[in-house]
Amino acid sequence: MESGPLGPQRSIWDIIWSCLSTIYACTWVPTHPDVPVSHKNFMKGLIQSRFGLMCCAIIAPEFIMVWGIQQRLGARRLALKYKEYGWTKVYGHFLQMGGFALNYGGDNLILNEDLLDKLLRWRKRQKIYFELITEEEIKDRSKSDGLSKTIAAGQTLWFIVQCITRRVKGLVVTEMELAASAYAILNIGIFIIWWDKPMDVRYPVPIHLWDMQRRCDFESLRREVRNPSVRIHGEILIWGLIIGSIFGGIHCLGWNFIFPSLAELISWRVCSLLITIAPVLSAILLWYDSKKTSPILLSHLTVPAQLLLSILYLISRLFLLVEAFASLRKLPPGAYSAVEWVTFIPHI
């Protein structure tokens, strides 16, 4: 930051760095992927990796939040279900993310809730014996640390305070800063949702079965196990769409921003409206389709309508991301004015 005739000034690189570092802090640091499994399909493995989740968080952060809400509710339910065994939400998250694997004779089988119920019944009948690791051992396997979370939280707080202060003082907030603010606001919720979930556990913890009567018992478990499908409950999905609408609404705050051209201004308005309205329309379609009294014709139109809304949403999101960068080529003079006291808040 430099001082000039108009007061403290910032460069375009200061703007880019603050925005990119905030987006990184909001999409990489709070992302908690499940335990990776070996995929023959490279794309499937990439999507489920932390990098893939970060890309998803950049394009559609509300879906990351929906997934996180589903996991948090599931972890809380599992903690209550297995309370007599001393379970907490940490155990619940670890089970859901594929953190436990049965081991017998060198074979591994990822443990899920159904298999755990069966194993616990077998243990009560003294048919088998096994022990799970402690909560402290689970946390020890987690790559999460207080320092990275503190830095990310501090960067998020600083960026939000800076943007609010600029508006209060009548200074220009760039389109890129507005887009980064949307990520920063959602980041607060994602941090809270995944607070108890272990991070970056690379391999499942093996559970060794002792005193198993017959090998066929393990084989029966293998036959019964099914690959868990990620199913989002309707109510949670609707809430996620509402969150997506709020995320889009933040972009609408740039309705009267100064753009390099009139075409870009109109395009920003249209795309901002689309990413705000599309989730609401999707939620209405899901609710209407769930009603048994809905006409058959309209039920058949739901899927094409949802597909169209998804395509429009994706195109609009990508445009807003590109335009946030493109608008930096011609900023109004007020965009370079800096708020001096904000720089004293620790940030990246």
User: In tens digits, what is the pLDDT along the chain, a chain of 348 residues?
Assistant: 555 555 678 889 999 999 999 999 888 888 888 888 765 565 666 667 788 888 888 888 888 888 888 899 999 999 999 999 889 999 999 999 999 988 766 667 888 888 888 888 877 776 666 778 888 999 888 877 667 778 888 888 889 999 999 988 889 999 999 999 999 988 888 888 888 889 888 888 888 766 554 454 555 665 555 554 445 566 777 778 888 899 999 999 999 999 999 999 999 999 999 999 998 888 888 777 666 555 555 567 777 888 899 899 999 999 999 999 999 999 998 899 888 777 666 677
pTM score, two decimals?
0.82
Q: Which residues pair with 110 in a beta bridge?
A: 101
From CA 280, how far away is CA 245, in angstroms rounded? 7
Specify whether the CB–CB gap between 194 and 32 falls below 8 A.
yes
Tell me the H-state helices in the chain: 12-27, 42-47, 50-59, 61-81, 89-96, 113-124, 135-141, 146-168, 175-193, 215-224, 234-252, 262-290, 296-326
Give the model's pLDDT for residue 344. Answer: 64
Provide CB contacts within 8 A for 174, sequence distance 6+.
15, 257, 324, 327, 328, 331, 335
From CA 139, how far away is CA 107, in angstroms rounded? 25
Specify whether the CB–CB gap between 159 and 346 falls below 8 A.
no
From CA 323, how far away is CA 123, in angstroms rounded? 60
Give the model's pLDDT for residue 229. Answer: 47
276 is written with which tokens? 């705000």
Give the model's pLDDT for residue 219. Answer: 58
Phi, psi of 211 (to 5 degrees): 60, 30
From CA 321, how far away is CA 233, in angstroms rounded? 29
Q: Which of 254, 246, 250, 268 is nearest to 173 (CA)?
A: 254
Phi, psi of 102 (to 5 degrees): -70, 140
